[in-house]
């Protein structure tokens, strides 16, 4: 996800993807900047992102392991797509070669990216950014249909690594009927990071999902407020959460949440991005 600085001259609208893309795409958004450059802090989500700034080349943001600061130019309209872990579109290279990298999409998709970027700009000019977003999603739908489904083993691994019921990596490999080494290798190729690193990222995303939903910690945590939410997603205590928050975002939980437990510092509604985490919380799998 992104942490944006507050300003009255920019807008950010996030929404769920097309239903047919829900298995691969976590959320989509449209962002507009105002008359000044806009400083944005990207944070690890476990997945990759596609960015389409109208009138500029589309970009690919690889899996992040820490915060990344980007300055978006003034008067920019940017359409974004965030994918689930292990659900990246077809690429010519394993994802671990793109960790913490942002590259022009044409370096990965060639002329296809150039044509798509031009079509997105034309659609935005003719009918607005919503039309451009629809075009991008339809393109991704065709791309995934042609490429086939992503590795079901990695999809299941990512599901089991979600928070609520922490699992040991060795037990996960045994459940998947592969060796720990095979799980590690396939996760690097298709997610970009190790299973343990993905688990840590998803645990933090689970915390953010609860915090942004204004959730109350479950009774069994024995704690309240941020400490209770931290324990619920698998942190040992609030100090453990604070260390991970600093590592993944460069900020403390208080700075990240803007001093409030029910929104991030940007004040934007990220419900679409966090709904998959809250849904899994309600029907989380048993311990392995």
Do 129 and 243 share a domain, yes or no? no
- Tokens 């999809």 -> residue: 155
Do 186 and 244 share a domain, yes or no? yes
Q: Is the pLDDT assigned to residue 83 strictly greater than 80?
A: yes
**What percent of the chain clears pLDDT 70, i.e. is strictly above it?**
90
pLDDT at position 262 is 43
- Given 104, 131, 147, the domain boundary residue is 147
Q: Is the pLDDT assigned to residue 274 strictly greater than 60?
A: yes
Look at the alpha carbons of 183, 184, 190, 196 in this order and tell me if their dihedral is positive or negative.
Answer: positive
Count, residues in the chain: 288
**How does pLDDT run across 7-46, given as a tens digit for each residue?**
457 899 999 999 999 999 999 999 999 999 999 999 999 9
pLDDT at position 260 is 47
**What is the mean predicted confidence (pLDDT) over 264-268?**
56
Average predicted confidence (pLDDT) for the chain: 89
89: CATH: 2.60.120
242: CATH: 1.10.10.60
Q: How confident is the model at residue 271 (pLDDT cuts 50, 70, 90)?
A: confident
Do 190 and 81 share a domain, yes or no? no
pLDDT at position 6 is 47
The answer to whether position 287 is within a domain reads no
What's the token pair of residue 128?
């607005």
Give the span between the Cα atoms of 252 and 257, in whole angstroms.
9
Do 156 and 231 share a domain, yes or no? yes
Do 125 and 159 share a domain, yes or no? no
pLDDT at position 261 is 44
Do 43 and 140 share a domain, yes or no? yes
- Given 121, 147, 173, the domain boundary residue is 147
**How does pLDDT run across 101-159, given as a tens digit for each residue?**
999 999 999 999 999 999 999 999 999 999 999 999 999 999 999 987 778 999 999 99
Do 131 and 32 share a domain, yes or no? yes
The answer to whether position 59 is within a domain reads yes
Report the domain count for the chain. Answer: 2
**What is the mean predicted confidence (pLDDT) over 247-254?**
94
Question: What is the Cα Rg of the chain in Å?
Answer: 19
Residue 264 sits in which domain range? 152-282
Q: How confident is the model at residue 284 (pLDDT cuts 50, 70, 90)?
A: low
Q: Is the pLDDT assigned to residue 268 strictly greater than 80?
A: no
Nearest of 238, 46, 41, 43 to residue 159 by alpha carbon: 46
**How does pLDDT run across 188-201, given as a tens digit for each residue?**
999 999 999 999 99
Strand-pairing partners, residue 27, are 82
pLDDT at position 145 is 92
- Given 147, 170, 185, the domain boundary residue is 147
Q: Which DSSP string corresponds to the chain?
A: -EEE---TT-EEEEE---GGGTTTEEEEEEEE--SS-EEEEE---SS-EEEEETTS--EEE---SS-EEEEEPTT-EEEEEEEPTT-PPP-SS-GGGGTT-EEETHHHHTHHHHHHHHHHHHHHHHH-HHHHHHHHHHHHHHHHHHH-PPPHHHHHHHHHTSSSS---HHHHHHHHTS-HHHHHHHHHHHTSS-HHHHHHHHHHHHHHHHHHTTPPPPGGG---HHHHHHHHHT-SSHHHHHHHHHHHHSS-HHHHTTT-SSS-TT----HHHHHHHHHHHHTPPPP-
**How does pLDDT run across 208-220, given as a tens digit for each residue?**
999 888 887 775 6
């Amino acid at each position: 996800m992104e942490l944006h600085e507050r300003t009255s001259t920019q807008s950010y609208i996030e929404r769920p993807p097309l239903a047919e893309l829900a298995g691969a795409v976590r959320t989509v958004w449209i962002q507009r900047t105002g008359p000044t450059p806009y400083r944005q802090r990207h944070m690890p989500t476990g997945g990759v992102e596609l960015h389409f700034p109208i009138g500029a080349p589309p970009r690919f943001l690889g899996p992040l392991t820490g915060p990344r600061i980007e300055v978006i130019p003034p008067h920019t309209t940017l359409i974004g797509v965030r994918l689930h872990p292990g659900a990246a579109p077809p690429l010519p290279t394993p994802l671990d070669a793109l960790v913490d990298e942002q590259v022009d999409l044409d370096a990965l998709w060639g002329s296809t990216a150039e044509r798509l970027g031009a079509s997105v700009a034309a659609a935005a000019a003719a009918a607005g950014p919503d039309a451009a977003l629809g075009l991008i999603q339809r393109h991704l739908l065709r791309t995934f249909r042609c490429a086939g489904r992503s590795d079901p083993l990695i999809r299941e691994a990512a599901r089991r690594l979600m928070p609520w019921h922490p699992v040991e990596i060795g037990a996960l490999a045994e459940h998947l009927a592969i060796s720990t080494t095979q799980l590690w290798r396939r996760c690097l190729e298709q997610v970009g990071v190790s299973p343990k690193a993905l688990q840590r990222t998803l645990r933090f995303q689970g915390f953010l999902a609860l915090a942004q939903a204004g959730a109350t910690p479950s009774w069994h945590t024995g704690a309240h407020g941020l400490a209770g939410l931290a324990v619920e997603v698998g942190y040992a205590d609030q100090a453990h959460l604070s260390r991970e928050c600093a590592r993944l975002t460069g900020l403390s939980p208080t700075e990240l949440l803007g001093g409030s437990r029910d929104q991030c510092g940007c004040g934007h509604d990220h419900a679409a991005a966090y709904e998959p985490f809250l849904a899994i919380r309600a029907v989380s799998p048993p311990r392995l």
